[in-house]
Amino acid sequence: RIFHHSSTMAKSKFEYVRLFETEDRCLPNAWIVVRVDGKGFHKFSTEHDYEKPNDLRALSLMNNAAMSVMEEFKDICLAYGQSDEYSFVFRKETQVYSRRSAKLSTNVCSLFTSAFVYYWSEHFPTSKPLYPPVFDGRTVLYPSNQNIRDYLSWRQADCHINNLYNTTFWALILKAGLTPVEAEQKLKGTLSGDKNEILFSQFSINYNKEPEMLRKGTTLVRRKVPIALPDGGTREKSQIVQLHTDIIGDEFWNENNHLLTIS
């Protein structure tokens, strides 16, 4: 609404059509994940000259958009992003939008998209996007702590698998001069160890020394950080921090065990 409604404002005889809207409240006491995914970003990344295998400008823009979402929705306790996707985890007990599924997915998806376009020029200063980029969104529920951890592990394992593949694939093309078809052929059926070996023996690349942001993706969490006060003292403030760390093992969760406990 752009303008206020008077409570006595006339209602039309067509109002009955509102009854066709359906309720879609998420089951209480379950983790709510909203994941946004780039639509047609294989094409988009080519058309916008994303660097291969990873474009740091694009990743930092994704992180920037995700920060905007997390600043708006205080009930998002963790976000995880990689490639052209970002997952937002709402607290189990969140009551935002009465837990209505479509409200959550469309608001998160719209804000993410909006921020992506809005902040584009800060990360790609020399060019405007050729057309408006699009992300789809979905809401998924996870009942248990193990489930939500497995969900995030699934996305981080996906990040690892894809990034190892892409790093090798583009080394073969950019450094060894293979065509994409030849590179794909060479990697067909290879296991992780094979790709590590190719990288090391052919290109002297130790994959485990590659930047963590590329290998692990980006995890956003809130942290209490001390703020200096004029009187020389400090006070705590909640801030969103970007981590590029393993979230599959127990260590991260032990260090951040407030995430999985009801606040």
Give the interface segment with a copy of itself, choosing from 3-11, 209-217, 224-232, 239-247 (CB under 8 A).
3-11
CB of 234 to a copy of itself, least distance (A): 29
Give the distance, in angstroms, between the CA of residue 236 and the centroid of all CA atoms in the same chain. 27
Q: Indicate whether 159 belongs to the interface with a copy of itself (CB under 8 A).
A: no
Nearest residue to 110 via CA among 155, 65, 75, 61: 65
Scanning 28-36, 200-208, 221-229, 249-257 for contacts with a copy of itself by CB under 8 A, the matching segment is 28-36
Query: What is the distance between the alpha carbons of residues 215 and 262, in angstroms, rounded to a whole number?
Result: 30
Q: Exactly one of 49, 56, 93, 102 binds a copy of itself (CB under 8 A); which one? A: 102
CB of 232 to a copy of itself, least distance (A): 34
Q: Which string of x and - marks every residue 111-150 that binds a copy of itself (by CB under 8 A)?
A: xxxxxxxxx---------x-xxxxxxxxxxxxxx--x--x
Rounded CA-CA distance 31/187 in Å is 38
Of 73-92, binders to a copy of itself (CB under 8 A) are 83-84
- Shortest Cβ distance from residue 181 to a copy of itself (Å)? 11
Is 4 among the residues that bind a copy of itself (CB under 8 A)? yes
43 vs 223, which CB is nearer to a copy of itself? Answer: 43
Of 64, 137, 139, 130, the C-alpha closest to 96 is 139
Which region, judged by CB under 8 A, interacts with a copy of itself, from 182-190, 210-218, 220-228, 229-237? 182-190
The residue within the footprint of a copy of itself, chosen from 57, 67, 110, 197 (CB under 8 A), is: 110
Residues 197-256 that bind a copy of itself (CB under 8 A): none
Which DSSP string corresponds to 94-147? --GGGGBHHHHHHHHHHHHHHHHHHTHHHHSTT---SS---EEEEEEEE-SHHH
Query: Shortest Cβ distance from residue 237 to a copy of itself (Å)?
Result: 21
User: How buried is 127 (Cβ within 10 angstroms: 0-12 exposed, 13-18 middle, 19+ buried)?
Assistant: exposed
Radius of gyration of the chain (CA): 22
Which residue bears the tokens 């992003």?
A: 81
